[in-house]
Amino acid sequence: MSIEEKSLFYSVIGILRNEYPKKDLNMIGGRDGDEFVTINDEIQFNTKGYNLLYNMKRLCDVLQDELL
């Protein structure tokens, strides 16, 4: 993701973290600059190397139960 895409994705994570506090949604860093989306301290997916749209789709997939 570009710097702009990453900034937007982090903003979305922040909004959703406030909207769904029971999910404990976070971004954590890993080795080699990897960035992982976690829910309740469980890694859901790595955002590194993927574009904003794909990462947003994966975020919606892991939050699907909240979106119904």
CA separation for the pair 32, 19 (Å, rounded):
30
Which pLDDT score, from 0 to 100, does residue 11 have?
95
Which amino acid appears at position 43 of this protein? I
Categorise residue 52: left if φ over 0, alpha if ψ from -120 to 50, beta otherwise. alpha
Which pLDDT score, from 0 to 100, does residue 37 have?
97
| Structural domain for 45, as ranges | 3-67
Which pLDDT score, from 0 to 100, does residue 19 have?
93
Question: 36-54: per-residue pLDDT in tens?
Answer: 999 999 999 999 989 999 9
Q: Which residues of the chain have pLDDT under 50?
A: none
Q: What is the count of structural domains for the chain?
A: 1
DSSP 28-56: EE-GGG-EEEEETTEEEEE-TTS-HHHHH
In 3-state terms, what secondary structure has residue 1? coil
